Amino acid sequence: MPGAEAHRTFRIDRLKAPLLVSWQITRECDLSCLHCCTGSAPGKRLSDELDAAQARRVAEELINNEVPYVMLCGGEPLMVPHFPALAEQLGTAGVALKLETNGQRLDEALITRLAGLPVRSVQISLDADSQSIYVGQRPGGSLQLAHSACRSVRSAGLPLEITFAPTRLNIHELQPVIERAAALGAFRFNTGQLMRMGTAARRWQKIEPSAQQYSTFRDTLLRAKGRPETMNMELSFTPFSIADALRNSLDEPPATLLVLPNGWVKIAAALPHICADLRRHTLAECWARYRAAWRSRTIRAALQAAIDDESSHADSNAWRMTAQALN
């Protein structure tokens, strides 16, 4: 391949498999969040999502290739009937798990099943500390259910992680949500700049925080780092934006495969490019195509364009196949 990148050695070139697979197992969700980067909502399940048998086959590929860590997300992964079996298949084989959920369906029975698996994190979204703001950003949601899920996760001895997506509607509630997360026993609090993707991109003019709001937001995060009540909780907000993350990735591509509900493999969340298909390719082939994509002059130019113009992220869900995926 022409260009200097064709001869450069990245860390991913020394790995026989990804260190993390972020697996979006559905586009279906029980909420209609204004900020959703995947465009998930009730009735949004894709017609070609992997069924239970196909998902089991992909999970077996992950196990056989010794992928150490898998994040199961969506949409809302708990709306997938075969989610518990999928988690158990991976977990009993020794794969560390992360569950990303809104917490509305995380009941005691499922938590008990998860407690027997190598769960590294249960990440629950808390985007407000008052029901009126919460339901305004997450239509159909119950903050009480989310809080209850957090408490149940910790009672079962599972690690709790909280995420907060700032919008013009909820950004003023950052401080009480940080305090709530610490009180609930979260080990990490994740946040950063709102992603201009999916539903958020369509509603951008109404939900994008102002420059002043972001300035206050950053100040609040920095002050919270030094407070006694948050000393046992990591405040994670770097890289702050997708553009920041992409800059880092150009120098050192992430050892992560992002798998879509239909088995397609994306090169990066902010790009629409698909480099492989787990229904047609083995995991080893997907990993090879992913590594090749990060050397492609076309892809690296697209990544640079996404860094230069964050409005282009609005097209990230208009998926299209690269040459790697078509072979």
For 213, the token pair is 């709001």
**pLDDT at residue 229, rounded to an integer:** 85
Radius of gyration of the chain (CA): 19
Predicted structure pTM score: 0.95
Binned at pLDDT 50, 70 and 90, residue 1 comes out as: very low
Check if the beta carbon of residue 264 is closer than 8 Å to that of residue 307.
no
Q: What is the pLDDT of residues 130-144, one digit of tens each?
A: 999 999 999 999 999
Q: For tokens 């769960």, name the residue.
A: 119
Please give the full DSSP string across 62-120, using - where no structure is assigned.
Answer: HHHTT--EEEEESS-GGGSTTHHHHHHHHHHTT-EEEEEE-STT--HHHHHHHHTS-EE
pLDDT for 3 beyond 60: no
pLDDT for 2 beyond 50: no
For 45, residues 6+ apart whose C-beta sits below 8 A from its C-beta are 26, 27, 28, 75, 261
d(Cα 262, Cα 157) in Å, to the nearest integer?
Answer: 33
Give the highest mean pLDDT range of 5-19, 81-95, 226-240: 81-95
For 205, the token pair is 């003019």
pLDDT for 171 beyond 60: yes
Q: What is the pLDDT of residues 57-112, one digit of tens each?
A: 999 999 999 999 999 999 999 999 999 999 999 999 999 999 999 999 999 999 99
pLDDT for 114 beyond 80: yes
**What class, spelled out in words, does domain 4-326 have in CATH?**
alpha beta
Q: In what order do the strands lie in the sheet with 273-277?
A: 234-236, 188-190, 160-163, 119-125, 96-101, 69-73, 20-24, 256-259, 264-266, 273-277, 320-321
d(Cα 141, Cα 82) in Å, to the nearest integer?
Answer: 23
d(Cα 115, Cα 117) in Å, to the nearest integer?
Answer: 5
- What is the number of other CB atoms lying within 10 angstroms of the CB of residue 23? 25
Check if the beta carbon of residue 13 is closer than 8 Å to that of residue 255.
no
Check if the beta carbon of residue 118 is closer than 8 Å to that of residue 157.
no
d(Cα 69, Cα 15) in Å, to the nearest integer?
Answer: 14
pLDDT for 301 beyond 80: yes
Give the 3-state secondary structure of residue 275.
strand
Binned at pLDDT 50, 70 and 90, residue 226 comes out as: confident
Nearest residue to 242 (alpha-carbon basis) of 187, 274, 201: 201
For 212, residues 6+ apart whose C-beta sits below 8 A from its C-beta are none
Helix (H), strand (E) at residue 163: strand 160-163
d(Cα 312, Cα 327) in Å, to the nearest integer?
Answer: 27
Work out the end-to-end distance of the chain between its first and last CA atoms, rounded to an integer number of angstroms: 16
